[in-house]
Copies of this chain bind each other. A is one copy, B any other.
Amino acid sequence: MPPQNLDAIFAALADPTRRAILTRLASGEAGVNELTEPFEMSQPAISKHLKVLERAGLVERAIDKQRRPARLKAKPMAAAVNWLEEFKEFWSSSFDQLDDLLTTLKQAELKEPGNE
């Protein structure tokens, strides 16, 4: 789980077109033309997006005649989920309102003794 992967995965997920492609692929593999159709975008643009998804390890390509159907490879996304899950633990314990209040009080304490 090198951080480099996390970089690539999150970056890949940061584009709405790519997220839409992933969503589409979740219901089955698809060729480039098929993936291009829903978007107002050229086929090479989609090919580029697919390459980004490939580099992130989220998609793999097959060979079927002249087609290069893309298929989801969602396991790497677990890395992203994992990172976020670890965070979840933090906030659920440390970032509810009670803790917010404590932080605020602490702040007040620091500036209170003085003046303005």
Which A residues lie at the B interface, using CB under 8 A?
Answer: 3, 6-8, 10-11, 13-16, 19, 22, 26-29, 62, 64-65, 71-72, 74-75, 77, 80-81, 83-85, 87-88, 90-91, 94-95, 103, 106-107, 110-111
Contact = CB atoms under 8 A, between A and B. Distances in A.
Q: How many copies of the polypeptide does the oligomer hold?
A: 2
10 contacts: A3-B16, A3-B19, A7-B16, A10-B11, A14-B14, A22-B87, A28-B103, A65-B111, A74-B87, A84-B84
- For the residues of A in contact with B, the DSSP-based class is helix
Nearest to A90: B26
Contact of A64 (B71, B84, B94, B110): B110
